Homo-oligomer: A and B are copies of this chain.
Amino acid sequence: MRFLAALAMALGLTTALRADEVTTTTLDNGLEVVVIEDHRAPAAVHMLWYRAGSADEPPSSSGVAHFLEHLLFKGTETIDAGEFSDIVAAQGGSDNAFTSYDYTAYFQRVAADRLPLMMRMEADRMNNLRLTEEDIATERGVILEERNQRVENSPGALAREQMRAAQYLNHRYGVPIIGWKHEMEQLGMEDALDFYDLYYSPNNAVLVVAGDVHPDEVIALARETYGPIPREPDLPERVRPQEPPQTAERRLVYEDPRVSQPYLTRSYIAPERDSGAQEKAAALTYLAELLGGSPFTSALGVALQFDSQTAVYTSAYYNGRSLDDTTFGLTVVPEQGVTLQKAEDAMDAAIADFLETGIEADRMERLHTQLRASEVYARDDVQGLARRYGAALTQGLTVGDVQAWPETLQSVTEEDILTVAREVLDRDRSVTAWVVPSREVLQ
Protein backbone atom coordinates (compact mmCIF):
# COMPACT_ATOMS: atom_id res chain seq x y z
CA MET A 1 0.00 0.00 0.00
CA ARG A 2 2.88 2.30 0.78
CA PHE A 3 4.10 1.74 -2.75
CA LEU A 4 0.82 2.89 -4.20
CA ALA A 5 0.60 5.94 -2.01
CA ALA A 6 4.15 6.99 -2.92
CA LEU A 7 3.44 6.44 -6.57
CA ALA A 8 0.26 8.45 -6.34
CA MET A 9 2.19 11.41 -5.05
CA ALA A 10 4.88 11.02 -7.69
CA LEU A 11 2.29 11.04 -10.46
CA GLY A 12 0.53 14.06 -9.05
CA LEU A 13 -2.64 12.11 -8.61
CA THR A 14 -4.17 14.63 -6.30
CA THR A 15 -4.88 16.88 -9.25
CA ALA A 16 -7.90 16.23 -11.43
CA LEU A 17 -7.52 13.48 -13.99
CA ARG A 18 -6.73 14.83 -17.42
CA ALA A 19 -9.25 13.97 -20.12
CA ASP A 20 -8.01 11.82 -22.99
CA GLU A 21 -7.53 13.68 -26.25
CA VAL A 22 -10.38 12.17 -28.14
CA THR A 23 -12.04 13.41 -31.31
CA THR A 24 -15.19 11.81 -32.64
CA THR A 25 -17.35 12.10 -35.69
CA THR A 26 -19.90 10.07 -37.60
CA LEU A 27 -19.68 9.58 -41.36
CA ASP A 28 -22.73 9.93 -43.57
CA ASN A 29 -23.02 6.15 -43.83
CA GLY A 30 -23.25 5.83 -40.05
CA LEU A 31 -19.68 4.79 -39.24
CA GLU A 32 -18.58 6.26 -35.94
CA VAL A 33 -14.98 7.43 -35.89
CA VAL A 34 -12.96 7.88 -32.70
CA VAL A 35 -9.46 9.33 -32.84
CA ILE A 36 -7.18 9.25 -29.79
CA GLU A 37 -4.03 11.31 -30.09
CA ASP A 38 -0.84 10.10 -28.47
CA HIS A 39 2.37 11.31 -30.03
CA ARG A 40 4.87 9.61 -27.74
CA ALA A 41 5.72 6.95 -30.31
CA PRO A 42 5.39 7.01 -34.12
CA ALA A 43 2.92 4.12 -34.08
CA ALA A 44 -0.77 3.84 -34.69
CA VAL A 45 -3.45 1.38 -33.64
CA HIS A 46 -6.26 0.85 -36.11
CA MET A 47 -9.30 -0.94 -34.75
CA LEU A 48 -12.62 -1.67 -36.33
CA TRP A 49 -15.37 -2.68 -33.90
CA TYR A 50 -18.68 -4.19 -34.90
CA ARG A 51 -21.72 -3.96 -32.65
CA ALA A 52 -22.27 -7.67 -33.14
CA GLY A 53 -21.13 -10.35 -30.76
CA SER A 54 -22.23 -13.79 -29.77
CA ALA A 55 -25.30 -12.44 -27.95
CA ASP A 56 -26.52 -11.00 -31.27
CA GLU A 57 -26.47 -14.36 -33.02
CA PRO A 58 -29.72 -15.86 -34.22
CA PRO A 59 -30.98 -18.90 -32.30
CA SER A 60 -29.39 -22.27 -33.19
CA SER A 61 -26.25 -20.72 -34.64
CA SER A 62 -24.11 -20.16 -31.57
CA GLY A 63 -20.49 -19.50 -32.42
CA VAL A 64 -21.19 -17.81 -35.75
CA ALA A 65 -19.86 -14.42 -34.58
CA HIS A 66 -16.53 -16.01 -33.68
CA PHE A 67 -16.60 -18.23 -36.80
CA LEU A 68 -16.99 -15.13 -38.93
CA GLU A 69 -14.11 -13.47 -37.12
CA HIS A 70 -11.93 -16.34 -38.37
CA LEU A 71 -13.39 -16.15 -41.85
CA LEU A 72 -12.51 -12.47 -42.16
CA PHE A 73 -8.92 -13.58 -42.63
CA LYS A 74 -9.92 -15.40 -45.79
CA GLY A 75 -9.84 -13.60 -49.13
CA THR A 76 -11.62 -10.65 -50.69
CA GLU A 77 -11.75 -9.62 -54.32
CA THR A 78 -8.27 -8.15 -54.04
CA ILE A 79 -6.55 -10.07 -51.23
CA ASP A 80 -5.96 -13.81 -51.17
CA ALA A 81 -6.97 -16.04 -48.28
CA GLY A 82 -4.48 -15.74 -45.45
CA GLU A 83 -2.70 -12.80 -47.04
CA PHE A 84 -4.13 -10.13 -44.71
CA SER A 85 -1.91 -10.86 -41.73
CA ASP A 86 1.12 -11.42 -43.99
CA ILE A 87 0.78 -7.92 -45.41
CA VAL A 88 0.49 -6.43 -41.90
CA ALA A 89 3.56 -8.40 -40.78
CA ALA A 90 5.52 -7.37 -43.89
CA GLN A 91 4.97 -3.75 -42.81
CA GLY A 92 6.46 -4.61 -39.43
CA GLY A 93 3.01 -4.54 -37.80
CA SER A 94 0.93 -7.00 -35.88
CA ASP A 95 -2.76 -7.78 -36.09
CA ASN A 96 -5.42 -9.66 -34.26
CA ALA A 97 -9.14 -9.97 -33.71
CA PHE A 98 -11.46 -10.84 -30.85
CA THR A 99 -15.06 -11.79 -30.34
CA SER A 100 -17.07 -11.15 -27.21
CA TYR A 101 -20.72 -11.26 -26.21
CA ASP A 102 -21.31 -7.73 -27.43
CA TYR A 103 -18.78 -7.09 -30.19
CA THR A 104 -16.34 -8.42 -32.72
CA ALA A 105 -13.21 -6.33 -33.25
CA TYR A 106 -10.25 -6.33 -35.62
CA PHE A 107 -7.07 -4.46 -34.98
CA GLN A 108 -3.63 -3.74 -36.32
CA ARG A 109 -0.71 -1.95 -34.76
CA VAL A 110 1.59 -0.40 -37.35
CA ALA A 111 3.94 2.49 -38.03
CA ALA A 112 1.69 5.56 -38.30
CA ASP A 113 2.41 6.05 -42.01
CA ARG A 114 0.96 2.61 -42.79
CA LEU A 115 -2.49 3.65 -41.56
CA PRO A 116 -3.90 4.29 -45.07
CA LEU A 117 -3.04 0.73 -46.11
CA MET A 118 -4.70 -0.72 -42.98
CA MET A 119 -7.85 1.27 -43.62
CA ARG A 120 -8.05 0.16 -47.25
CA MET A 121 -7.66 -3.47 -46.25
CA GLU A 122 -10.15 -3.29 -43.38
CA ALA A 123 -12.73 -1.39 -45.46
CA ASP A 124 -12.22 -3.96 -48.21
CA ARG A 125 -13.12 -6.89 -45.99
CA MET A 126 -16.12 -5.10 -44.49
CA ASN A 127 -17.85 -5.40 -47.83
CA ASN A 128 -16.00 -7.67 -50.24
CA LEU A 129 -15.40 -10.92 -48.40
CA ARG A 130 -15.25 -13.90 -50.77
CA LEU A 131 -15.67 -17.26 -49.11
CA THR A 132 -15.45 -20.73 -50.64
CA GLU A 133 -17.04 -23.89 -49.25
CA GLU A 134 -13.50 -25.06 -48.57
CA ASP A 135 -12.89 -21.99 -46.37
CA ILE A 136 -16.04 -22.84 -44.43
CA ALA A 137 -15.09 -26.48 -43.91
CA THR A 138 -11.50 -25.69 -42.95
CA GLU A 139 -12.31 -22.90 -40.55
CA ARG A 140 -15.17 -24.81 -38.93
CA GLY A 141 -12.60 -27.47 -38.15
CA VAL A 142 -10.34 -24.81 -36.67
CA ILE A 143 -12.99 -23.35 -34.34
CA LEU A 144 -14.06 -26.84 -33.25
CA GLU A 145 -10.45 -27.62 -32.40
CA GLU A 146 -10.26 -24.30 -30.55
CA ARG A 147 -13.30 -25.32 -28.55
CA ASN A 148 -11.67 -28.68 -27.86
CA GLN A 149 -8.57 -27.09 -26.48
CA ARG A 150 -10.11 -24.21 -24.56
CA VAL A 151 -13.31 -25.77 -23.31
CA GLU A 152 -13.60 -29.53 -23.70
CA ASN A 153 -10.14 -30.05 -22.21
CA SER A 154 -10.80 -27.71 -19.31
CA PRO A 155 -13.14 -28.81 -16.54
CA GLY A 156 -13.18 -25.23 -15.25
CA ALA A 157 -14.35 -23.92 -18.61
CA LEU A 158 -17.00 -26.63 -18.90
CA ALA A 159 -18.24 -25.82 -15.42
CA ARG A 160 -18.38 -22.10 -16.27
CA GLU A 161 -20.47 -22.87 -19.35
CA GLN A 162 -23.02 -24.82 -17.35
CA MET A 163 -23.01 -22.09 -14.75
CA ARG A 164 -23.63 -19.22 -17.15
CA ALA A 165 -26.40 -21.21 -18.82
CA ALA A 166 -28.04 -21.52 -15.39
CA GLN A 167 -27.33 -17.87 -14.51
CA TYR A 168 -29.14 -16.41 -17.50
CA LEU A 169 -32.75 -17.51 -17.73
CA ASN A 170 -33.57 -15.67 -20.93
CA HIS A 171 -30.60 -13.69 -22.25
CA ARG A 172 -28.13 -15.11 -24.76
CA TYR A 173 -25.25 -14.31 -22.39
CA GLY A 174 -26.04 -17.84 -21.20
CA VAL A 175 -24.73 -19.22 -24.49
CA PRO A 176 -20.93 -19.53 -24.81
CA ILE A 177 -19.14 -17.10 -27.14
CA ILE A 178 -17.30 -19.92 -28.86
CA GLY A 179 -20.62 -21.72 -29.33
CA TRP A 180 -22.24 -24.97 -28.28
CA LYS A 181 -20.38 -27.77 -30.00
CA HIS A 182 -23.48 -29.31 -31.60
CA GLU A 183 -24.42 -25.99 -33.13
CA MET A 184 -20.86 -25.15 -34.25
CA GLU A 185 -20.80 -28.42 -36.18
CA GLN A 186 -23.79 -27.22 -38.21
CA LEU A 187 -22.46 -23.76 -39.05
CA GLY A 188 -22.32 -23.18 -42.79
CA MET A 189 -21.80 -20.58 -45.48
CA GLU A 190 -25.30 -19.17 -45.13
CA ASP A 191 -25.02 -18.64 -41.36
CA ALA A 192 -21.74 -16.79 -41.82
CA LEU A 193 -22.91 -14.66 -44.73
CA ASP A 194 -26.25 -13.78 -43.13
CA PHE A 195 -24.42 -12.49 -40.07
CA TYR A 196 -21.83 -10.73 -42.21
CA ASP A 197 -24.27 -9.06 -44.58
CA LEU A 198 -26.43 -7.72 -41.78
CA TYR A 199 -23.93 -6.69 -39.14
CA TYR A 200 -20.69 -5.91 -40.97
CA SER A 201 -21.95 -2.56 -42.09
CA PRO A 202 -20.69 0.97 -41.49
CA ASN A 203 -23.77 1.96 -39.48
CA ASN A 204 -23.04 -0.93 -37.13
CA ALA A 205 -19.34 -0.22 -36.66
CA VAL A 206 -16.98 1.97 -34.68
CA LEU A 207 -13.57 2.87 -36.06
CA VAL A 208 -10.99 3.64 -33.39
CA VAL A 209 -7.60 5.02 -34.42
CA ALA A 210 -5.10 5.81 -31.70
CA GLY A 211 -1.49 6.94 -31.58
CA ASP A 212 0.67 9.32 -33.54
CA VAL A 213 -2.09 10.62 -35.74
CA HIS A 214 -3.97 13.85 -36.43
CA PRO A 215 -7.76 13.73 -36.15
CA ASP A 216 -8.45 15.74 -39.31
CA GLU A 217 -6.26 13.48 -41.39
CA VAL A 218 -7.71 10.32 -39.90
CA ILE A 219 -11.27 11.49 -40.47
CA ALA A 220 -10.51 12.53 -44.05
CA LEU A 221 -8.90 9.17 -44.68
CA ALA A 222 -11.83 7.33 -43.10
CA ARG A 223 -14.26 9.27 -45.27
CA GLU A 224 -12.26 8.31 -48.35
CA THR A 225 -11.89 4.60 -47.58
CA TYR A 226 -14.91 3.67 -45.45
CA GLY A 227 -17.22 6.43 -46.72
CA PRO A 228 -18.24 4.76 -49.99
CA ILE A 229 -19.55 1.64 -48.24
CA PRO A 230 -23.36 1.82 -48.18
CA ARG A 231 -25.23 1.71 -44.87
CA GLU A 232 -27.29 -1.39 -44.11
CA PRO A 233 -30.95 -0.35 -44.32
CA ASP A 234 -32.25 -3.46 -42.51
CA LEU A 235 -30.04 -3.22 -39.45
CA PRO A 236 -32.36 -4.14 -36.57
CA GLU A 237 -32.65 -2.19 -33.36
CA ARG A 238 -30.25 -3.76 -30.89
CA VAL A 239 -32.66 -5.17 -28.35
CA ARG A 240 -31.88 -8.53 -26.83
CA PRO A 241 -34.05 -10.70 -24.55
CA GLN A 242 -33.78 -9.33 -21.03
CA GLU A 243 -33.82 -11.33 -17.83
CA PRO A 244 -37.08 -11.99 -15.98
CA PRO A 245 -36.97 -11.65 -12.18
CA GLN A 246 -34.55 -14.23 -10.84
CA THR A 247 -36.25 -15.57 -7.75
CA ALA A 248 -34.69 -18.95 -7.00
CA GLU A 249 -31.14 -19.61 -5.91
CA ARG A 250 -29.50 -22.12 -8.25
CA ARG A 251 -26.80 -24.59 -7.31
CA LEU A 252 -24.67 -26.82 -9.53
CA VAL A 253 -22.43 -29.76 -8.93
CA TYR A 254 -19.96 -30.23 -11.76
CA GLU A 255 -18.12 -33.52 -11.50
CA ASP A 256 -15.09 -34.22 -13.66
CA PRO A 257 -12.21 -36.59 -12.85
CA ARG A 258 -9.79 -34.06 -14.33
CA VAL A 259 -10.50 -31.56 -11.51
CA SER A 260 -7.33 -31.58 -9.42
CA GLN A 261 -8.63 -29.52 -6.53
CA PRO A 262 -12.29 -29.05 -5.59
CA TYR A 263 -13.48 -25.45 -5.52
CA LEU A 264 -16.63 -23.43 -5.38
CA THR A 265 -17.65 -20.44 -7.36
CA ARG A 266 -20.74 -18.27 -7.17
CA SER A 267 -22.04 -15.69 -9.57
CA TYR A 268 -24.78 -13.16 -9.01
CA ILE A 269 -26.62 -11.30 -11.74
CA ALA A 270 -25.41 -7.69 -11.46
CA PRO A 271 -26.04 -4.34 -13.13
CA GLU A 272 -23.62 -3.21 -15.81
CA ARG A 273 -22.36 0.28 -16.58
CA ASP A 274 -25.27 2.15 -18.12
CA SER A 275 -24.80 5.32 -20.10
CA GLY A 276 -25.19 8.24 -17.71
CA ALA A 277 -25.66 5.90 -14.76
CA GLN A 278 -22.38 4.22 -13.94
CA GLU A 279 -22.57 4.66 -10.16
CA LYS A 280 -23.67 1.14 -9.25
CA ALA A 281 -21.04 -0.37 -11.49
CA ALA A 282 -18.42 1.85 -9.91
CA ALA A 283 -19.48 0.73 -6.44
CA LEU A 284 -19.36 -2.93 -7.57
CA THR A 285 -15.82 -2.39 -8.82
CA TYR A 286 -14.89 -1.46 -5.25
CA LEU A 287 -16.89 -4.33 -3.85
CA ALA A 288 -14.88 -6.84 -5.87
CA GLU A 289 -11.68 -5.36 -4.49
CA LEU A 290 -13.02 -5.31 -0.95
CA LEU A 291 -14.29 -8.88 -1.00
CA GLY A 292 -11.64 -10.62 -3.05
CA GLY A 293 -8.95 -8.23 -4.20
CA SER A 294 -5.86 -9.10 -2.22
CA PRO A 295 -5.51 -12.02 0.18
CA PHE A 296 -3.96 -9.67 2.74
CA THR A 297 -6.69 -7.05 2.84
CA SER A 298 -9.89 -8.40 1.29
CA ALA A 299 -12.77 -9.69 3.37
CA LEU A 300 -12.60 -13.21 1.95
CA GLY A 301 -8.81 -13.33 1.96
CA VAL A 302 -8.45 -12.26 5.56
CA ALA A 303 -11.31 -14.38 6.92
CA LEU A 304 -10.76 -17.56 4.90
CA GLN A 305 -7.05 -17.61 4.08
CA PHE A 306 -5.60 -16.09 7.23
CA ASP A 307 -7.89 -16.03 10.21
CA SER A 308 -9.43 -19.47 9.75
CA GLN A 309 -7.18 -21.18 7.19
CA THR A 310 -10.28 -22.45 5.45
CA ALA A 311 -9.11 -21.61 1.94
CA VAL A 312 -5.93 -21.55 -0.10
CA TYR A 313 -7.36 -19.09 -2.60
CA THR A 314 -10.20 -16.57 -2.71
CA SER A 315 -11.19 -14.05 -5.33
CA ALA A 316 -13.97 -11.77 -6.48
CA TYR A 317 -14.69 -10.66 -10.00
CA TYR A 318 -16.65 -7.87 -11.60
CA ASN A 319 -16.45 -6.18 -14.97
CA GLY A 320 -19.13 -3.59 -15.61
CA ARG A 321 -18.56 -3.31 -19.34
CA SER A 322 -21.48 -5.17 -20.80
CA LEU A 323 -24.47 -4.12 -22.88
CA ASP A 324 -26.93 -5.99 -20.64
CA ASP A 325 -26.92 -7.42 -17.11
CA THR A 326 -23.54 -8.81 -16.14
CA THR A 327 -22.37 -10.95 -13.21
CA PHE A 328 -20.48 -10.50 -9.97
CA GLY A 329 -18.37 -13.55 -9.14
CA LEU A 330 -16.72 -15.15 -6.13
CA THR A 331 -14.36 -18.14 -6.01
CA VAL A 332 -13.03 -20.10 -3.05
CA VAL A 333 -10.58 -23.02 -3.14
CA PRO A 334 -10.72 -24.76 0.24
CA GLU A 335 -7.70 -25.99 2.18
CA GLN A 336 -7.07 -29.73 2.05
CA GLY A 337 -9.55 -31.45 4.36
CA VAL A 338 -12.05 -28.59 4.42
CA THR A 339 -15.38 -29.51 2.79
CA LEU A 340 -16.96 -27.31 0.15
CA GLN A 341 -19.93 -26.82 2.44
CA LYS A 342 -17.69 -25.55 5.20
CA ALA A 343 -15.84 -23.29 2.80
CA GLU A 344 -19.07 -21.92 1.43
CA ASP A 345 -20.46 -21.30 4.90
CA ALA A 346 -17.27 -19.44 5.75
CA MET A 347 -17.60 -17.39 2.55
CA ASP A 348 -21.19 -16.46 3.40
CA ALA A 349 -20.22 -15.62 6.95
CA ALA A 350 -17.40 -13.38 5.72
CA ILE A 351 -19.83 -11.58 3.38
CA ALA A 352 -22.36 -11.12 6.19
CA ASP A 353 -19.62 -9.86 8.45
CA PHE A 354 -18.44 -7.42 5.79
CA LEU A 355 -21.97 -6.04 5.33
CA GLU A 356 -22.36 -5.60 9.05
CA THR A 357 -18.94 -4.15 9.84
CA GLY A 358 -18.72 -1.76 6.93
CA ILE A 359 -15.53 -0.32 5.51
CA GLU A 360 -12.81 1.52 7.40
CA ALA A 361 -12.19 5.06 6.23
CA ASP A 362 -8.50 4.54 5.49
CA ARG A 363 -9.30 1.40 3.51
CA MET A 364 -11.69 3.48 1.36
CA GLU A 365 -9.00 6.09 0.89
CA ARG A 366 -6.38 3.56 -0.17
CA LEU A 367 -8.83 2.05 -2.64
CA HIS A 368 -9.60 5.45 -4.12
CA THR A 369 -5.89 5.96 -4.60
CA GLN A 370 -5.36 2.49 -5.99
CA LEU A 371 -8.16 2.81 -8.55
CA ARG A 372 -7.05 6.29 -9.49
CA ALA A 373 -3.57 4.96 -10.12
CA SER A 374 -4.81 2.10 -12.23
CA GLU A 375 -6.80 4.58 -14.32
CA VAL A 376 -3.61 6.57 -14.84
CA TYR A 377 -1.63 3.49 -15.81
CA ALA A 378 -4.38 2.53 -18.22
CA ARG A 379 -3.96 5.84 -20.00
CA ASP A 380 -0.31 5.07 -20.64
CA ASP A 381 -1.20 2.12 -22.80
CA VAL A 382 -2.47 3.57 -26.07
CA GLN A 383 -3.64 0.21 -27.34
CA GLY A 384 -5.51 -0.46 -24.08
CA LEU A 385 -7.05 2.99 -24.30
CA ALA A 386 -8.25 2.40 -27.85
CA ARG A 387 -9.68 -0.91 -26.77
CA ARG A 388 -11.43 0.77 -23.87
CA TYR A 389 -13.23 3.23 -26.16
CA GLY A 390 -14.10 0.62 -28.75
CA ALA A 391 -15.51 -1.74 -26.16
CA ALA A 392 -17.47 1.05 -24.46
CA LEU A 393 -19.01 2.34 -27.68
CA THR A 394 -20.14 -1.14 -28.73
CA GLN A 395 -21.55 -1.82 -25.26
CA GLY A 396 -23.99 1.05 -24.92
CA LEU A 397 -21.65 3.70 -23.49
CA THR A 398 -20.51 7.01 -24.90
CA VAL A 399 -17.15 8.78 -25.02
CA GLY A 400 -18.49 10.95 -22.22
CA ASP A 401 -19.19 7.87 -20.10
CA VAL A 402 -15.64 6.60 -20.60
CA GLN A 403 -14.24 9.98 -19.61
CA ALA A 404 -16.55 10.31 -16.61
CA TRP A 405 -15.65 6.82 -15.32
CA PRO A 406 -12.48 7.72 -13.34
CA GLU A 407 -14.33 10.50 -11.50
CA THR A 408 -17.34 8.25 -10.97
CA LEU A 409 -14.98 5.75 -9.38
CA GLN A 410 -13.53 8.47 -7.16
CA SER A 411 -16.94 9.57 -5.95
CA VAL A 412 -17.95 6.13 -4.63
CA THR A 413 -18.69 6.16 -0.90
CA GLU A 414 -18.83 3.43 1.72
CA GLU A 415 -22.61 3.76 1.71
CA ASP A 416 -22.80 3.29 -2.09
CA ILE A 417 -20.84 0.07 -1.81
CA LEU A 418 -22.86 -1.38 1.05
CA THR A 419 -26.12 -0.46 -0.66
CA VAL A 420 -25.21 -2.12 -3.95
CA ALA A 421 -23.72 -5.10 -2.10
CA ARG A 422 -27.01 -5.69 -0.29
CA GLU A 423 -28.85 -5.43 -3.60
CA VAL A 424 -26.57 -7.66 -5.66
CA LEU A 425 -25.45 -10.28 -3.13
CA ASP A 426 -28.90 -11.84 -3.13
CA ARG A 427 -28.71 -15.61 -3.35
CA ASP A 428 -32.07 -15.76 -5.15
CA ARG A 429 -30.30 -14.24 -8.11
CA SER A 430 -27.17 -16.37 -7.90
CA VAL A 431 -25.70 -19.63 -9.12
CA THR A 432 -23.27 -21.53 -6.91
CA ALA A 433 -21.17 -24.26 -8.49
CA TRP A 434 -19.19 -26.93 -6.71
CA VAL A 435 -16.54 -28.26 -9.04
CA VAL A 436 -15.25 -31.65 -7.91
CA PRO A 437 -13.33 -34.64 -9.27
CA SER A 438 -16.03 -36.92 -7.94
CA ARG A 439 -19.16 -36.69 -5.83
CA GLU A 440 -17.32 -38.75 -3.24
CA VAL A 441 -15.58 -35.63 -1.96
CA LEU A 442 -19.02 -34.30 -0.98
CA GLN A 443 -19.52 -37.11 1.52
Interface residues of A (CB under 8 A from B): 59-60, 62, 158-159, 161-163, 165-166, 169-170, 172, 174-175, 180-183, 239-242, 244, 246-256, 427-428, 433
Contacts and interface: CB of A to CB of B under 8 A. Distances in A.
Contacts of A256: 247
Contacts of A170: 62, 165, 174-175, 180
A93 to B, nearest CB: 38
A181 B244 contact: yes
A152 to B, nearest CB: 10
Nearest to A165: B169
A163 B241 CA distance: 18
Contacts of A166: 166, 169, 248, 250
A248 B172 contact: no
A241 B183 contact: yes
Contacts of A172: 59
B169 A248 contact: no
Contact of A169 (B60, B162, B249, B433): B162
B239 A162 contact: no
Given A169-B174, A170-B165, A180-B170, A159 B241 contact: no
A48 to B, nearest CB: 26
A60 B55 CA distance: 12
Contacts of A165: 169-170, 244
Nearest to A158: B247
Contacts of A181: 244
Contact of A252 (B161, B248, B254): B248
Contacts of A427: 253
Nearest to A181: B244
B174 A240 contact: no
